[in-house]
Structure 1
């Protein structure tokens, strides 16, 4: 599998470099992979890449964790209580269609330029898929499992930790990975407008200085880090859900 992935990436970058070398692609509008790698190397050496990457990772981690606390808690509560579901779901359904980008002016007005605005936008991007993942997971649990645990004298906490959470993980884990990807996109978007550090800010500054190779280098860094985060969560998901039956069973 890894070999096929590397072959695909090699063909893509080889085609890109070939078109750039042949002059088919305008080198100013889209620098070649060689120029992009050189830009990444230069920014790595002067430290600007690592400083901005660290700022972006901090923001996405804080916003994502906040969304996990709020989204998963509300999802479990609403999944377990029909009354709470009827109260909370209309609010969530009304706010969910509003894209995080539309909240940028409000975020700047409330929190100014900086980390707090980015935390807020990442939170908004992550909280809704996390809520619906937890809500759907709890609703999908076989009620016979819950009734059996109650008959065996399980306390409310044991019912939650020993039945609801393990049974919810196969459905909930993909939503955790999806929300993290959305949060990564949201933090970069926020940094393009409402931050003074981060990969999005690096791209914006490079665009204003017509350093297109740095713009593309920043995009490559964003894509690579997003891929690594998604792969890491997917690996955790496979370990956690190893007990669950797969489609091949």
Structure 2
């Protein structure tokens, strides 16, 4: 009876802890709203300066986006692009994280990986799109492959930097107390690497959506890129900007639904180490 009550109390505390962090996240969103309001004001100023054909008003673009959202086929296009971008992002995250950890813990691996990274970073994404079109044709493979190639170096470099700059004194202390390589990696290494990993993942996710839309437009594989191509052919700037906003909305949704919850779990120890109400 007492044991079950203790488990219930522990579960209740865990739920309250997550609800509290979710409330802090919502409250912190006011800064983002203020930034979006400033961006909308600058957008409106550009519209008044250059005219509707060059830069439609924000409200006109939102109206076009509302019209697009009312068409069920548009949801399929947005979902297709989001799925392709997330598939490439997840693959890039797994490959980049594994490679970055290996390189950070092995100088020989780092020396072997540097020229490969130079090649991947030096080749522009549009060249990879052309190659992927030759390899896979106008299919999802073209988009996903291009996203992976563009995002892997970002994650790899971030994770490798985190692994290289880890505190080796703590590592030696854990070894002295009998901790094996896996235990040291999970209890010490990951905590430090996470500070470099999640910013890299955020950048990689943004690159995934940008590259996915560009690959869809050039390879004619549908999705938001295909819709942008149609808007370009019709010289409909408002519709084109509306699709851009939809792509950005998909990026923000995936980031806050996929990346930030995992980061919050990794960063719990940081919040526990801070005084109440003090934020850095």
TM superposition score normalised by structure 2: 0.78
Aligned equivalent of 2:74: 49
Contact 1:118/1:195 (<8 A) preserved? no
Q: Partners of 2:166 and 2:236 in 1: how far apart?
A: 53
**2:36 equivalent among 3, 9, 13:** 9
For structure 1, list consecutive stretches of 5 or more residues without a partner in the other structure: none
Q: SS at the partner of 2:97?
A: helix
Mapped contact 2:163–2:189 kept (Cα < 8 A): yes
* 1:155 positional shift: 2.3
2:269 matches 1:237: no
Deviation, structure 1 residue 94 = 2.8
Q: What are the Cα deviations for residues 63-90 of structure 1, in whole angstroms up to 9, with x where unaligned?
A: 0111112111111111111122222222
Mapping for residues 18-57 of structure 1, pairs under 5 Å: 24-57=49-82
Offset, 1:197: 1.7
Name which of 245, 264, 270 aligns with 1:220: 245
For structure 2, list consecutive stretches of 5 or more residues without a partner in the other structure: 1-27
Segment of structure 1 superposing worse, 180-189 or 33-42: 33-42
RMSD: 2.5
Query: Is 1:145 equivalent to 2:173 in the alignment?
Result: no
Query: Is the contact made by 1:40 and 1:49 (CA closer than 8 Å) also made in structure 2?
Result: no
Task: After TM superposition, list the pairs within 5 Å mapping 1:152-231 onto structure 2.
Answer: 152-231=177-256
Query: What TM-score do the two structures reach when normalised by structure 1?
Result: 0.87
Distance across 1 between alignment mates of 2:114 and 2:139: 31
